[in-house]
A and B are shown apart, each in its own frame.
Chain A
Amino acid sequence: MDKTINQKAWFLVLPVFLVVAFSAVLPLMTVVNYSMQDTFGNNQFFWNGVGWFKELLDPTTDLGGRFLASLWRNLFFSAVILAIEVPLGIVVALSMPRQGFSVAVCLVILALPLLIPWNVVGTIWQIFGRPDIGLMGYVLNSLGLNYNYVSNDLDAWATVIVMDVWHWTSLVALLCYAGLKSIPDAYYQAAQIDGASRWAVFKAIQLPKMNRVLLIAVLLRFMDSFMIYTEPFVVTGGGPGNSTTFVSIELVKIALGQFDLGKAAALSLVYNLIIIIVCWIFYTVMTNAGVQRRVVVDKKGVK
């Protein structure tokens, strides 16, 4: 069959290309330029070579110490919230009703936290946790717990983690629920005939079928928690001390607080590289997990 090939349609992409060039490519090139120089404002720049990167990757310097500390803190935070949100989201999705009026009620209630803007979530928990007027803070202190997220590291961490779990577990739950809904009834009937236990059904049917959505959920939650800024900034301001200062908070402090554009540019490039690498790994694993399964199915078909 002859098909007319017309490449002129590519010109329709031109506006997007221009917008991306001005909004992303040129600023990114500027960041690369900044990362090699030092400035005191007024568009005067001084060549510094890879000096900022050297400082950034050396834990004995102020910049390196702050960057690496916030990086480990951020990775630990991501690990903790993933370890809580993913299993919790699965449990929530499994215990949701599968038909009837209550499905809509559940979906709306689950979707509510997702609709609240980040800074509002931060403000809610900032007030909620206050020992003097906040409901949670007041109750905890009345129960004899010395809870104060402003002065205690552990309390600040607990508040930020619980806040993130409250805000984003719904997303994992909704994604898992979508995955569960797509499993045909025949699988469950087969399991019932085989006399499979609840755990066996979960392990052999539900978990493998949720594989893809779970990977999406993990990717989304990892990226989001790795870039988290607003919520901990509003609640703890990165404190007490530096205990909840994550990478993006450190970055903003350096770029806008100290106006060290060179240092901030170097930091953001390394930060960006980490995110690109993690994204690529997740994306590759996600797209290839399905492909390999298809190959296996094909082989079985041939037999």
Chain B
Amino acid sequence: MENIAWMAWTLPTAIFFVLLAMTLAVMTLLAIYYPEAERVGVLRIPTTRGDRLFLSLIMTAAIHLLWIGLVGTDTIATLPIGEEGFEISSLWLATVISLVSAVVIFRNV
């Protein structure tokens, strides 16, 4: 662990990167077993599954940043876990919106 101390790993960022790596792995496997086909969606540009994943990820980043900038990260609920409770930031709503937008992008773009 000494050797990677400079990378300053934390549990949340580690979970984030593991999820990202798993997404990429799943998409790669899908591409191998069900080869990608281009199609033209609402943007009038040919996109493959990989393009739509890229767009979803970029949209996710933009939605979260806009949410932080415009709405903020106030607590919307406290789960009764532990002594002080587990606070849920309103940023999770941005995550929900991102997931919905990803579904929309995968179906329509």
Contacts and interface: CB of A to CB of B under 8 A. Distances in A.
Interface of A: 26, 29-30, 32-34, 36-37, 39, 43, 45, 47, 49-50, 53-54, 57-58, 270, 273, 276-277, 280, 284, 288, 291
A270 B68 CA distance: 12
Interface string B41-60: 00011100000001000100
Contacts of B9: 33
B62 to A, nearest CB: 7
A50 B12 CA distance: 11
A273 B61 contact: yes
Contacts of B68: 50, 53-54, 57
A273 B58 contact: yes
Contact of B8 (A43, A280, A291): A43
Given A50-B73, A280-B58, A30 B7 contact: yes
Contact of A276 (B46, B58, B73): B58
A102 to B, nearest CB: 43
Contacts of A270: 65
Given A29-B7, A29-B13, A45-B8, 7 more contacts: A33-B7, A37-B8, A39-B8, A43-B6, A43-B8, A54-B72, A288-B44
B81 interface: no
Contacts of B86: none
